[in-house]
Amino acid sequence: MLESPAWRLALLLALAYLLTLLPGPGLFVHLKPFWLGLLVIWLALEQPARGTLGVAFLAGLGADLLLATWFGEHALRLLVICFIVRRFRSRLRFFPMWQQSLAVGALLLNDRVVIVMLRSFVAPVLPEWTFWLPALSGMVLWPLLFLVMDDVGRRLRSRPGM
């Protein structure tokens, strides 16, 4: 049962939600990367059949409900990320890891700009410098996250009976 791709995707989403909800001390709260964004990037790059715009949208709606943000905010953010990754997937997949990390950093920075844009529709927004840190931490964590996810995926595919 847990070997089906749908269950694996559900477990990955649950893990991303859990990591999103984990509190942190002091400045580490601001360094927490956008875990759902990183998961959507990985899915759109490595498993395009599962990393669809629909999955990104539903994961974003789940995050909106879980985090009590404006309904549709995370959904739009993840849609934008997924669309860009799927549009440039053929190029991004073959970048060296350092360039791929820079591209992920640019995607996550774009996500922060989308947040500012969305929130500025209601009131003027001038974010502090710590607002931009999740893009940096996501960029730094990307190589490790990519290697772990790739290794786990490879192990699951190489199991007998899969």
Those residues whose C-beta lies under 8 Å from the C-beta of residue 121, and which sit 6 or more positions away, are: none
**How does pLDDT run across 130-148, given as a tens digit for each residue?**
999 999 999 999 999 999 9
Which residues have a Cβ under 8 Å from the Cβ of 42 and sit 6 or more positions away?
A: 51, 145, 146, 149
- Asked if pLDDT for residue 151 goes beyond 90, the answer is no
47 CB-near residues (< 8 Å, 6+ apart): 153
Residue 149 Ramachandran class (φ > 0 left, ψ -120 to 50 alpha, else beta): alpha
Domain range summary for the chain, segments of one domain joined by +: 30-153
* Rounded CA separation 102/31 (Å): 17
Q: What is the pLDDT of residues 34-58, one digit of tens each?
A: 999 999 999 999 888 888 999 999 9
pLDDT of residue 120: 92
d(CA 162, CA 140): 33
For residue 119, pLDDT beyond 80: yes
- The answer to whether 156 touches 8, Cβ cutoff 8 Å, is yes
| Residue 128: exposure state from Cβ atoms within 10 A (0-12, 13-18, ≥19) | exposed
How far apart CA 1 and CA 115 sit, in angstroms, is 38
Which of 79, 59, 72, 66 has the alpha carbon at shortest distance from 121?
72
Mean pLDDT of 71-90: 96
Mean per-residue pLDDT of the chain: 90
pLDDT value, residue 101: 96
